[in-house]
């Protein structure tokens, strides 16, 4: 018999973990001499109070959708992909090469081909750690961490030595061609009569991210491959007994995970910056970990968590602008969310399980 | 490249290797006891901030060191709570600690000092300064002679150059870190505590059957880990540099982790691995790009080399790196 009802596992525990993270964040704000309630109202106003704020919230959320899904897909196979940051960096490199050297007639074709390039590069960057895990048993957590650093060095080298336009000072590519510029939410929503901020970076890739959620949901729960991935994650021995090849499944899972991280570049590189800069990913690969943990590795949960972190990012930027609270507050909140929903999960879970068991005994 | 330049690069290697070595030995204690620790980076960063902050406020570097160790131990305790007491995922806990340190240090630095996430620059009494060993040429000789130190050393003989530049003139923490290597070896391989600690990383059930507390041993291991990371962080902020700056560990915790795998979890090999990675950093610091027979090695390759080497080792192409068997698994006592 289950120790507690499903809703408690899916809703109650994440909410309690989130509350704990929020309470400690409030204490941290108090400790540095600011008011938590004022900070919260400023964040809500800055992130959700205008279409401009929403535009940024949704822009960040789009990034986190891709990286969160990537971590979630890998987690279903029992793999912890910490390499999202590097995969997204290399995805950006692939996308930049496509957008710089192939002329496009229309943004939709550009998005398709550039997305392909970004996904392929991201997948390729995940392929080596995946192969080493599958074939040689090297721990994927360590190899993906190492590949994040190697990716940063590769990107640095490519930008400084190969992609930087002649005579330019900062290490970044030239601006992409006009046809590769994606329509923003302002342009999409104007025809249906919604006035959306012109200067906010949210763009059409938000819908690509939402589509990715649906695709991942279908993949994990309604395809043979998804079944294999979940079986491997539950028990490797069981999976082998059922005739599933761990090597093949690990490879395919990590390629999908890497491709999803790579796809993030369609939003941050193609949609917003419209050129590749050195620190384009801004830690989004790591936020994917928090998003996947909070979302319980389910695409709908990832969607909600991505919006929440989008709100935190935009709200945090507003805080840094108007108060003495630096935007690193968000890093602390992110850490607390990972700590409570991930590492300290049992601390929240065990008392609640006890309560449910006690309740059931009373009823019986 | 002349002899003196070589010695200077080696001298810089020793300085760069020190925080790596301390963190690497810290990880060694933790992982040998079966607790994965990818939070070395965070502990070092936290210790770096608190040591610099307290040294800046009190003007006493020893109080700073204590504060750094205390901060690092606090994170260790949190890691223990998550991964030992509540049997959570050790990797996730480590990731969380790294972010916690990276955010909190800037937040508190901004609140205490308002200098954009850094501490004020430390003056002489707030830092660990170089120790002049007997008969070495140091700043006092330079002052007495009224000539710059570099000139005195350049004119000295080879042995004196080697002694004064490479061996003498480091801060106390550098010598501590090198002494920690034989000490670690002795504790792990020549004491009862060390035997039990290694056993708990390989087969905790056996240790438990013998009536020894797995939980207590593992907490002891991560406490030692916290202590060493604390010294490493304090060295970064009060020895190597004069004060804390945002993200000043810059991946050293991960390089230490790489060194640990490179050394296959053995103390003397850890020294070798850390010196190698320290040399890479020292070379990257001194030369922007290296000419090798008409072929230029870009500086980015030097940056990435520790990580590439670690992946090669992990791939098992140069001998297999086998971690402690119970590493990463929480121990559930049988009832």
Give per-residue pLDDT as tens, A39-50.
999 999 999 989
pLDDT averaged over every residue in chain A: 91
Residue A44 domain-assigned (yes or no): no
pLDDT of residue B318: 64
| A14, part of any domain | no
Residue A196 lies in a domain: yes
Nearest CA-CA distance, residue A109 and chain B, Å: 34
Question: pLDDT band at residue B2, thresholds of 50, 70 and 90?
Answer: confident
pLDDT score at B165:
79
- Over residues B150-164, mean pLDDT: 80
Least confident residue range of A72-76, A268-272, B138-142, B184-188: B138-142
pLDDT in the model for residue B39: 93
In tens, the pLDDT along B221-263 reads: 999 999 999 999 999 999 999 899 998 998 899 889 989 988 8
DSSP track, B31-83: HHTT-----HHHHHHHHHHHHHHHHHHHS-HHHHHHHHHHHHHHHHHHHHIII
List C-alpha distances in Å: B194 to B188, B222, B263.
4, 13, 18
Which residue in chain B has the smallest CA separation from A283?
B99
Residue A279 has pLDDT above 70, yes or no: yes
Is residue A163 predicted with pLDDT exceeding 90?
Answer: no
pLDDT one-digit tens code per residue, A284-303: 999 999 999 989 899 999 99
Please state the pTM of the whole predicted model.
Answer: 0.90
The answer to whether the Cβ–Cβ distance between A332 and B301 falls below 8 Å is no
Domain hosting A189: range is 61-302
Residue A10: inside a domain, yes or no? no
The model's pLDDT over A177-189, given as tens digits with 9 standing for 90+, comes to 888 889 888 888 8
A299-358: per-residue pLDDT in tens?
A: 999 999 999 999 999 999 999 888 888 888 989 998 998 899 888 888 888 888 888 888
DSSP string for A257-309: HHHHHHHTHIIIIIIIISS--TT-STTHHHHHHHHHHHTTT-HHHHHHHHHHH
**Structural domain includes residue A180:** yes
Please return the burial class of B194, using the count of CB atoms within 10 Å of its CB with bins 0-12, 13-18 and 19+: middle
Closest listed residue to residue A226, CA positions, set A145, A298, A330: A298
Model confidence over B257-296: pLDDT tens digits? 989 988 889 999 999 999 999 998 888 888 766 776 667 7
Predicted confidence (pLDDT) at residue A1 exceeds the cutoff of 60: no
Nearest by CB to residue B307, choosing from A132, A150, A326, is: A150
Which residues of B fall within a CB distance of 8 Å from A339? 78, 82, 93, 96-97, 100
Flag whether pLDDT at B99 surpasses 90. Answer: yes
**Is B311–A339 a contact, with Cβ atoms under 8 angstroms apart?**
no
The predicted-structure confidence for B177-205, as pLDDT tens digits, reads as follows 999 999 999 999 999 999 999 999 999 99
B289 and chain A: CB distance < 8 Å anywhere? no
* Residue with more model confidence, B323 or A66: A66
Contacts of residue B259, Cβ cutoff 8 Å, sequence gap at least 6: B20, B24, B270, B273, B274, B276, B277, B306
> Quick one: pLDDT at residue A248?
95
Comparing CA positions, the residue from A268, A205, A230 lying closest to residue A72 is A230
Mind telling me how many Å the CA of B42 is from chain A's nearest CA?
11
Q: What percentage of chain B has pLDDT greater than the value 70?
A: 96
B86 touches chain A (CB under 8 A): yes
Would you say residue B1 has pLDDT above 90? no
Instruction: State the average pLDDT over residues A129-140.
Output: 88
Q: For testing the chain A interface, which of B94, B314, B324, B332 should be mutated: the one with the most A CBs within 10 Å?
A: B314
Q: What is the ipTM of this complex?
A: 0.90
Q: Mind listing the pLDDT tens digit for each residue in A78-118? A: 999 999 999 999 999 999 999 999 999 999 999 999 999 99
Question: Is residue A118 assigned to a domain?
Answer: yes
| Domains in chain A, number | 1
Are the beta carbons of A332 and A43 closer than 8 angstroms?
no
Classify burial at A177, counting beta carbons within 10 Å of its beta carbon; exposed 0-12, middle 13-18, buried 19 or more.
middle
Instruction: Return the percentage of chain A with pLDDT > 90, whole number.
Output: 62
Position B62 confidence tier, pLDDT thresholds 50, 70, 90: very high
Q: How confident is the model at residue B79 (pLDDT cuts 50, 70, 90)?
A: very high
Under a CB-based contact definition with an 8 Å cutoff, are residues B268 and B257 in contact?
A: no
The predicted pLDDT at position A2 comes to: 66
pLDDT tens digits, B39-57: 999 999 999 999 999 999 9
Contact A147 B99 (CB under 8 A): no
Cα of B285 to nearest chain A Cα, Å: 15
CA of B323, closest CA in chain A: separation in Å? 10
């Amino acid at each position: 018999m289950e120790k507690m009802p499903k809703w408690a596992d899916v809703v109650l525990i994440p909410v309690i973990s989130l509350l704990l993270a929020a309470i400690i964040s409030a204490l941290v704000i108090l400790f540095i001499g600011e008011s938590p309630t004022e900070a919260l109202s400023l964040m809500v106003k800055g992130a959700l109070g205008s279409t401009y704020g929403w535009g940024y919230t949704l822009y960040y959320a789009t990034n986190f959708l891709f990286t969160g899904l990537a971590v979630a897909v890998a987690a279903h196979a029992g793999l912890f992909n910490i390499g999202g940051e590097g995969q997204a960096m290399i995805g950006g490199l692939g996308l930049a090469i496509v957008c710089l050297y192939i002329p496009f007639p229309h943004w939709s074709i550009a998005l398709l081909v550039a997305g392909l390039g970004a996904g392929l590069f991201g997948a390729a960057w995940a392929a080596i750690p995946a192969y080493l895990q599958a074939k040689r048993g090297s721990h994927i957590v360590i190899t993906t961490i190492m590949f994040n650093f190697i990716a940063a060095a590769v990107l640095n080298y490519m930008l400084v030595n190969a992609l930087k336009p002649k005579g330019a000072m900062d290490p970044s590519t030239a601006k992409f061609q006009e046809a590769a510029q994606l329509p923003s939410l302002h342009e999409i929503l104007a025809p249906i009569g919604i006035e959306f901020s012109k200067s906010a970076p949210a763009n059409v890739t938000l819908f690509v991210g939402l589509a990715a959620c649906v695709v991942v949901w279908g993949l994990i729960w309604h395809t043979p491959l998804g079944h294999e991935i979940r079986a491997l994650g539950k028990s490797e021995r069981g999976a082998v007994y059922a005739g599933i090849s761990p090597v093949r499944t690990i490879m395919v899972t990590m390629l999908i995970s890497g491709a999803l991280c790579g796809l993030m570049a369609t939003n941050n590189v193609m949609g917003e910056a419209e050129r590749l800069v050195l620190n384009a990913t801004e830690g989004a690969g790591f936020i994917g970990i928090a998003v996947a943990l909070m979302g319980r590795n389910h695409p709908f949960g990832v969607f909600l968590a991505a919006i929440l972190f989008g709100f935190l990012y935009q709200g945090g930027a507003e805080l840094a602008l108007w108060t003495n609270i630096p935007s690193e507050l968000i890093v602390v909140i992110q850490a607390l969310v990972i700590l409570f929903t991930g590492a300290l999960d049992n601390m929240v879970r065990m008392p609640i399980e006890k309560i449910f068991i006690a309740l059931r005994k009373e009823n019986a | 490249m002349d002899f003196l330049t070589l010695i200077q690069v080696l001298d810089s290697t020793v300085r760069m290797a020190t925080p790596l070595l301390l963190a690497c030995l810290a990880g060694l204690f933790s992982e040998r006891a079966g607790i994965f620790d990818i939070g070395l980076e965070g502990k070092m960063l936290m210790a770096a901030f608190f040591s610099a902050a307290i040294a800046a406020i009190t003007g006493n570097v020893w109080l700073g060191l204590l504060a750094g160790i205390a901060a690092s131990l606090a994170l260790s305790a949190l890691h223990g709570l998550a991964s030992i007491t509540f049997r959570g995922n050790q990797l996730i806990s480590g990731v969380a600690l790294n972010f916690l340190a990276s955010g909190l240090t800037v937040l508190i630095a901004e609140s205490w000092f308002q200098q954009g996430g850094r501490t004020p620059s430390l003056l002489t009494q707030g830092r660990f300064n170089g120790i002049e060993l007997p008969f070495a040429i140091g700043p006092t000789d330079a002052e007495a002679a009224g000539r710059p130190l570099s000139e005195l050393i350049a004119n000295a003989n080879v042995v004196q150059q080697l002694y004064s530049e490479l061996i003498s003139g480091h801060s106390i923490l550098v010598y501590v870190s090198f002494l920690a290597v034989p000490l670690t070896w002795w504790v792990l391989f020549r004491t009862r505590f060390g035997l039990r600690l290694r056993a708990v990383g390989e087969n905790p059930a056996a240790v438990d059957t013998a009536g020894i507390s797995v939980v207590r041993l593992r907490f002891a291991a991560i406490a030692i880990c916290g202590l060493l990371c604390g010294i490493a962080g304090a060295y970064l902020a009060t020895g190597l540099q004069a004060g804390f700056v945002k993200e000043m560990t810059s991946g050293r915790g991960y390089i230490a982790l790489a060194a640990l795998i490179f050394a296959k979890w053995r103390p003397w090999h850890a020294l070798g691995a850390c010196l190698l990675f320290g040399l890479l950093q020292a070379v990257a610091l001194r030369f922007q790009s290296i000419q090798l027979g008409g072929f230029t090695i870009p500086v980015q390759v030097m940056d990435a080399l520790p990580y590439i080497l670690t992946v090669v080792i992990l791939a098992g192409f140069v001998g297999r790196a086998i971690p402690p068997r119970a590493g990463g698994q929480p121990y559930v006592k049988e009832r």
